[in-house]
Amino acid sequence: MLDEKALEFRAANPNFETLTTREKALTLNTWLRTNNLTGLRDQKDYRNLRNCLIGQALRHEDHDSIPIISSAIYCCIARRISVEAHPCLFPGQVHTLVVSPRGQKLDGGQISDLAADYERMWIDTFGDEAEVRLEHLREVLARLGWDVSHQNAFEPASPNAMVERIEANMRESIRFAGTLDREGHTRALQLLHSRGMPITDLCEYTRAWTAVFTAAPTRPVWLEMATGLIDITTKRMPEDGWIIEKFLRPRYDAATDLQRAYEHYVRVIIQPAWSLFDDLKTSDVWTGARLRRPKSAAFKIGQVVRHRRRGNIGLIWSWSTTFTANNATPSVEDERISRGGASTEANGDAVRMYYTYL
């Protein structure tokens, strides 16, 4: 998608190579803004979760995004047209830094100054401004009460810092959605292909991952975050267990001194997790229970049904020939019974269902 946009930009600006670096940077910014690829249509929608996700921003017809994502889009396309650009985590609104090629000035010509062999400029890739002067950014920092020598606000952001800030925005979006009425809540958490609780669960999962990235591995808090992530993965996302097993487990096992302080976690969460992942390594050779359906069974897995009394719609997810309580997991006895013969007593044939309310 980004490649396509870069090509579109080049096609729309055939004289691009003749421009100075400054002109290139500003032309790109204007083009992105005119084509609605950066920024936000309606400021009231700032906290929509969609605006925090670059995939959604690029695919959705409105291309709404918050400043950090707008900056990322700008930088990705800039890289494809040989302009060096980086997001800067300026408080309140992320800006974009553009750097001239080595030895050249932003407005063309060679740099003769021996002190630095590049020049820098800052752009507002989200709002209505174009180039923003460093002095102005410093003034804003001073008004916010920040120390003006705080260099990080003007420097290229590290990937870890970017991840942390995006995750903070996602968390704030979810918290904000919780304060809205039902319709507002649904709209605030609506992505292109999904909405509702699965999204908030996935965001919690994302938060568990970012917490591990952003904590320093030598500190106790890292172990806490890693334990939290391993816990969520084993309970809800076992299919991602291989990532934990491959990248996190060696580090976790090596942090023996930290583990001593968290002996309880290690016993209750980590040891079962490592056993699970060890089992999963050999799981390809397992065969399934292979339950054969009784001939008289009325429904098959995948069919949509309605409960006659309750009236709600459900999706058949599994069946068994013994009745099990709601929310129970299947037991091994089911397998024995179904292998023992097709038992088809009148109310012996129960169907377990996967339900959701309308």
Residues forming contacts to another protein in the complex (CB under 8 A) are 178, 181-182, 185-186, 195-198, 287-293, 297-309, 313-315, 317-319, 323-328, 347, 349-358
- Tell me the C-alpha distance between 85 and 78, whole Å: 6
Pick the closer one to another protein by CB: 113 or 181.
181
Tell me the two tokens of residue 154: 């003007």
State the CB neighbour count (10 A cutoff) for residue 153.
Answer: 21
Pick the closer one to another protein by CB: 7 or 315.
315
- Tell me the C-alpha distance between 257 and 226, whole Å: 15
Amino acid at 177: A
Shortest distance (Å) from residue 332 CB to another protein: 12
Pick the closer one to another protein by CB: 7 or 301.
301
Shortest distance (Å) from residue 64 CB to another protein: 23
Shortest distance (Å) from residue 328 CB to another protein: 7
Pick the closer one to another protein by CB: 55 or 250.
55
Shortest distance (Å) from residue 9 CB to another protein: 36
- Tell me the C-alpha distance between 156 and 334, whole Å: 59
DSSP class of 291: P
Helix orientation angle between 2-12 and 67-80, rounded to the nearest 10 degrees? 70
Pick the closer one to another protein by CB: 194 or 271.
194
Residue 76 vs residues 13, 22, 32, 58, 98: alpha-carbon distances, Å: 18, 17, 12, 12, 12
Pick the closer one to another protein by CB: 182 or 336.
182
For 273, the enclosing helix (H) or strand (E) is helix 271-281
For 24, the enclosing helix (H) or strand (E) is helix 21-34
Shortest distance (Å) from residue 142 CB to another protein: 40
Shortest distance (Å) from residue 346 CB to another protein: 8
Shortest distance (Å) from residue 331 CB to another protein: 13
- Tell me the C-alpha distance between 104 and 181, whole Å: 54
State the CB neighbour count (10 A cutoff) for residue 225.
Answer: 21
Pick the closer one to another protein by CB: 150 or 306.
306
CB 351 within 8 A of CB 323: no
Backbone angles phi, psi at 349, to 5 degrees: -90, 100
